[in-house]
């Protein structure tokens, strides 16, 4: 991009562009390795300007992880129409593709959810809530999952299972092919809901 | 306990006793709230003596979490004989009872697994491995779970699901009774394994 183009951007657009670059850098690096120095070097701007945009390294990290979480939620939006299990398969395929393309950013998102700063925990919790709420919205008739306190709990557990499976698989895919994993990610939702006694009452 | 009794303990026994007290204190407190000062006050010994036994606050925390993890693994040992699903039910009942009695220690164990120090991550990984390996040992004939790379992955995902379900439930059990949760914890293992295409080949 030319300096001329760059200078036409508003501060919000410029900040947004820097965050996109941060997310790209995070796809192959841990959060600890994503420094303001590295971003400055890659963006061709001064450290001072970055501190102007992001305040502190921690604020910068939180903004990048939030951007990554928003992208995950956006890219995994299921089709509006179709069979609930087909929509789930489409969404989980996009989820897996996102993690394959953004492995370290995904690790940062999930790790931050358990042991990070309160802000990182909140970002992970919001992303997980967006993904699990979607199950109930996309399945409003309860074809896969009736909406009860225990199924809400189980869908949360399913999301944790998905995160762990995907993280373990990208770290070491030996003996497990992508299609096999994707089938488990999709079929595990109705399978887990099926363990709830009386979960089928929506159909009774 | 009298001072006379205390003085007869060997250093190893004394350290062990202090760790037990640390685990008890951790059952209702976060790791951040478990200070050397608090342990010294509760044990009636000097801070200096505690530093002699544990080196640093971080070493003390790691030793307490390791003690809690060992207790979780020990207390959830399934019966040696019986139907695999009955043995699993017995083990998961003990797991749930452990978490109910040691909530904060369990949170520290699981949180440390994702975002803690490398030592805390290793303790969590070892505890989870002990619990999931047990599934394959206690089920050597593959009655519930044939031993393949993909079922190994799925059992790991099941363990992550169990951790999340139990943590979410102890934090807010509204609308979900204990028996309902326990049924989900037990039945979710064969349900998840059942999503693996060809998982039944051990029986073919």
Query: What's residue A203's pLDDT?
Result: 38
> How far is the C-alpha of B202 from the C-alpha of B199, rounded, in Å?
7
CB contact under 8 A, B149 and A183: no
Residue A1: is its pLDDT beyond 50? no
Q: Above pLDDT 70, what percent of chain B?
A: 91
| Lowest model confidence (mean pLDDT) among A184-193, B108-117, B127-136 | B108-117
B165–A contact, CB cutoff 8 A: yes
CB contact under 8 A, A148 and B175: yes
A-chain CB neighbours of B149 within 8 Å are: 174-176
> How far is the C-alpha of A66 from the C-alpha of A126, rounded, in Å?
10
The residue written with tokens 């790691």 in the block is B62
| A105-151 confidence digits (pLDDT tens) | 888 888 776 666 788 888 988 999 988 998 888 777 788 889 999 99
Q: How many CB pairs under 8 A join A and B?
A: 120
Most confidently modeled of A103-112, B4-13, B58-67?
A: B58-67
> How far is the C-alpha of B183 from the C-alpha of A98, rounded, in Å?
33
90-129 in chain A: CB under 8 A from chain B: 110-116
Residue B114: is its pLDDT beyond 70? no
Query: What's residue B141's pLDDT?
Result: 78
- The chain-wide mean pLDDT, for chain A, equals 87
A161–B contact, CB cutoff 8 A: yes
Band of residue A199 on the pLDDT scale cut at 50, 70, 90: low
Q: Above pLDDT 70, what percent of chain A?
A: 91
- The chain-wide mean pLDDT, for chain B, equals 87
ipTM above 0.90, yes or no: no
Query: What's residue A200's pLDDT?
Result: 47
Query: What's residue A67's pLDDT?
Result: 92
Encode B167-185: b = buried (16+ Cβ within 10 Å), e = exposed. bbbbeeeeebeeebbbbbb
The residues, ordered by sequence, that sit 6+ positions from A98 with a Cβ below 8 Å of its Cβ are: A71, A72, A75, A76, A106
B22 in Cβ contact with B35 (< 8 Å): no
């Amino acid at each position: 991009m030319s300096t001329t183009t760059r200078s036409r951007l508003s501060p919000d657009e410029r900040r947004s562009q820097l965050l996109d670059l941060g997310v790209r850098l995070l796809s192959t690096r841990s959060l600890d390795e994503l420094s303001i120095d590295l971003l400055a070097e890659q963006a061709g701007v001064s450290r001072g300007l970055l501190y102007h945009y992001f305040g502190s390294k921690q604020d910068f990290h939180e903004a990048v992880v939030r951007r990554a979480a928003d992208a995950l939620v956006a890219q995994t939006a299921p089709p509006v129409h179709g069979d609930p299990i087909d929509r789930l398969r489409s969404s989980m395929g996009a989820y897996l593709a996102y993690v394959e393309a953004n492995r370290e950013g995904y690790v940062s998102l999930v790790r931050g959810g358990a042991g990070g700063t309160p802000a990182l925990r909140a970002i992970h919790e919001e992303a997980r809530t967006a993904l699990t709420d979607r199950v109930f919205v996309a399945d409003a008739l309860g074809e896969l999952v009736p909406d009860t306190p225990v199924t809400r709990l189980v869908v949360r557990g399913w999301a944790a299972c998905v995160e762990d499976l995907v993280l373990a698989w990208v770290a070491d895919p030996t003996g497990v092919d992508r299609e096999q994993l994707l089938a488990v990610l999709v079929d595990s939702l109705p399978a887990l809901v099926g363990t709830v006694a009386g979960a089928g009452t929506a159909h009774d």
